Structures are given as structure tokens and as C-alpha cells.
Amino acid sequence: MSPLSRITGLDMAYATGKFSYGLCDYCGQRYPYTTLKKNWRGFKVCPEDYEPKEPQLEPLKYKNDAIALDQPRPDRTEPLTVFLENGSGQQYQSIGSANNTVNMQPFPLSQPIGAGISLSTVTVTVS
């Protein structure tokens, strides 16, 4: 926005410059105004003196580490079937498999579930 347009509120129209000449800011030679280009430093230069901005002068584009998933799906609740055996060959079903949940407790039946374990003696000597 030009200073005049700030005061008046109107944007100023500019000529195309197709019949005008301009001086190169680097070499000082006269060129048609439309052939002069503005380089990255803001100078109007001729096509021979024009140089694009080096990519090393641009800051690096940093990408954050991807932590979250894009459009994640919630976990499905799978029916879980766990069978326990009471030693006599009879099996018990879990509450989760009976009610379609993830509960691992044994399904209550009329027969109690028994488990047996035998331990031997362990002697610990500290010297």
C-alpha cells in the first residue's frame, strides 16, 4: 500500500512502462523497463545480472515428529473365550466369552473350580 493510498483511501494506478527505459542497479546499463527484474535483494537488474536466491539462505522447513495417527479407529472388543479345566477333564467357560465382554473371570457354574499346587522345601543360606 502506497503512502498516497493510505491518506486518500484510493490505490494508485501505474503505467505499464512498455515505452520506458530503466537503469540496471548492478551494471548501470539502460534497458527496456519491462525487461528489468527485481532480484531477491530488491534491486531492479537486467537479465544478465539477475541471480535467483540461493536455497541455502532459506530457513529449513522443520517437520515435527509424527506422534498421533491420522484418523485412528477405536479398538474393537473381541469376544474372548478362556476355558479352565478342573483336573477331571471338565472345562469351564469365562464370563467374557459368555457375555461377549473381556472379563477373564470363570463363568459361575454349580461345580467349584479347584486348583492344586505342590511346593517343595527351599533352604536359603546367607554367608
Q: Give 72-116 pLDDT, tens digit per residue.
A: 887 777 665 555 565 665 556 666 666 666 666 666 555 555 555
Residue with the bigger pLDDT between 82 and 43: it is: 43
Q: Tell me what pLDDT residue 38 has.
A: 94
Among 108, 60, 115, residue whose Cα is nearest residue 86: 115
Question: What whole-number distance in Å separates Cα of residue 108 and Cα of residue 110?
Answer: 7
- In DSSP terms, 22 is beta-bridged to 31
Q: Tell me the C-alpha to C-alpha distance, in Å, between residue 52 and each of 39, 60, 97, 127.
A: 7, 18, 69, 81
pTM of the full structure: 0.39
Task: Tell me which H or E stretch contains 5.
Answer: helix 3-8
DSSP 29: -
**Among residues 123, 60, 111, 52, which one has the least CA distance to residue 86?**
111
